[in-house]
Amino acid sequence: AFEYFGVYFAIIISVGKKIFSFLIVLFIIVISFAHAFYILLLPRSEFSLEQYNINSDDPNNPWKLAPSYNQIIDNNGNINSNPSMIQIPDKNTNMFMDIRTSLFAMYLFLAGDSSALSNWEYTENPSIAVLIVLFSLLVVVYLMNLLIGLLNIEIGEDNNRVSYLIQKAEILAEIELFYLLPHQRRWRTWFPEVIHYYADADKARIEIERLIENGEWDTKEFTELRKILLEDLQIKHNPIDNEVILEKLKSNDEKLEKLKSNDEKLEKLKSNDEILEKLKSNDKILEKLKSNDEKLENLEKKLEKLGKLLEEIHAK
C-alpha cells in the first residue's frame, strides 16, 4: 500500500525540485508587478478610515473609491450631486495601500479575481490598463501555460516505479548517513551482510537478454551467480562467442586506429609537400633576384665606363 502511494510522493518531490527555479522566476515577476501597482495606486494624501473625507483630490483615496449612493431629488430624475449615503471603506477598499496587500491582490489576479483593480476607471487611468494587459498576457496566459506544460513533461518522466525506488533510496541513504547513531549503524537486523532480492522471472529474463544483446552481461563479477541465473531462467548464452566477437571488435578498433594514424601521416605529408612547393617558389624568386643583381652590376660597370669617357672628353 505504501508503494502504491509512494509513487505519487516521488512525483511530488521530484517535480517540485525541477520546477523550483521556474517558480522563483514567476514569483519575482509577480512581485515586480505588485510593486508597480503599489507605486501607481498608493494614496498621495493623508486620510483616516474613521473620518469622512470626500473633498480630497487624490483619486486613490479610499473614501473616493468606496461605493456611494445619491438621492433622486424630484420626479424628473435629477440626482443630488452630494451623496446621501456612503459605505465606510476599509483596508481592502484600496489593497494597494500596503505592499503586502498589493502582493496578495496580484495573487488573486493570478487566480482569476481582478476585483482589486475594478475601483478605477480605465479610460482615465491608461497606465493601469497597460499594466493589467501586460500582467494577463505575460503571467496569466504565457507563464502559467508554460508551467502547466512543464508539469506535464516532468510528471510523464517521473510517473513510474523506478522514480519511486530512486526517491526511496535517496531518503534511506540520507537517514543512514545523517540521522543514525554509530551503534545503530552496526545493527545486523538493519544492515545485514547478505540481502535477498526478489525479482519476477519474466522481467529478469527480459532484462538479462537485454544486457546480453548490449554486451553488458559478461563481466568479471558474480560469475557463479550469473551462471545459476542463466540455468534457472533457461537462457542460452555462450560467453565464448561473445569473447570472439569482442576480440574481433578489438581488432577492428585497432585497425581503425591504424587507419586514423595513417590519415594523420598523409595529412602531414601533404603539409610537407605544400611547404616544399613554397620553398621552390622562394628559390625561383631568389634566382630572379640574383639575375637582377647581375644586371645591376653590368649597368654599374657601363656607367663607370661612361663616366671615364666623359671625364676624358672634358679634359680635352
Predicted confidence (pLDDT) per residue in 101-119, tens digit: 999 999 999 998 988 888 8
| Between 157 and 260, the higher pLDDT residue | 260
Domain annotation covers residue 132? yes
| Position 135 pLDDT exceeds 90 | yes
Domain annotation covers residue 169? no
Residue range 267-295: mean pLDDT, rounded: 81
| Position 142 pLDDT exceeds 90 | yes
The whole-number pLDDT of residue 213 equals 81
| pTM, rounded to two decimals | 0.52
Give the range with max mean pLDDT: 66-70, 197-201, 249-253. Answer: 197-201
Confidence band for 29, pLDDT divided at 50, 70 and 90: very high
The region of weakest confidence among 153-167, 180-194, 201-215 is 153-167
Residue range 11-30: mean pLDDT, rounded: 89
Residue range 220-228: mean pLDDT, rounded: 79
| Between 99 and 190, the higher pLDDT residue | 99
Domain annotation covers residue 249? no
Percent of all residues in the chain with a pLDDT value above 70, rounded to a whole number: 87
**Measured distance CA(178)–CA(175) in Å, rounded:** 6
The whole-number pLDDT of residue 169 equals 81
Q: With DSSP H G I counted as helix, E B as strand and the rest as coil, what are the percentages for the chain, rounded to 5?
A: 70, 0, 30
Domain annotation covers residue 38? yes
Domain annotation covers residue 127? yes
Residue range 113-127: mean pLDDT, rounded: 88
The whole-number pLDDT of residue 1 equals 46
Confidence band for 37, pLDDT divided at 50, 70 and 90: very high
Greatest alpha-carbon pair distance for the chain in Å reads: 145
Domain annotation covers residue 122? yes
What's the Cα-to-Cα distance from 309 to each of 236, 298, 300, 306, 312, rounded to whole Å? 112, 17, 14, 5, 5
Domain annotation covers residue 227? no
Query: H or E stretch including 69?
Result: strand 68-69
DSSP secondary structure, 240-252, as one string = HHHHHHHHHHHHH
Tell me what the pLDDT averaged over the chain comes to: 81
Q: What are φ and ψ of residue 68, in 5° steps?
A: -125, 155
What is the residue range of 99's domain? 2-43+94-162
What's the domain count of the chain? 1
DSSP secondary structure, 178-191, as one string = HSS-HHHHT-TTTS
Confidence band for 154, pLDDT divided at 50, 70 and 90: confident
Domain annotation covers residue 61? no
What's the Cα-to-Cα distance from 177 to each of 166, 168, 172, 195, 315, rounded to whole Å? 16, 14, 9, 19, 117
Residue range 53-61: mean pLDDT, rounded: 74
What's the Cα-to-Cα distance from 61 to each of 6, 8, 97, rounded to whole Å? 53, 49, 9
* C-alpha atoms less than 13 angstroms from C-alpha of 6 in its C-beta half-sphere: 13
Residue range 69-75: mean pLDDT, rounded: 67
| Between 79 and 226, the higher pLDDT residue | 226
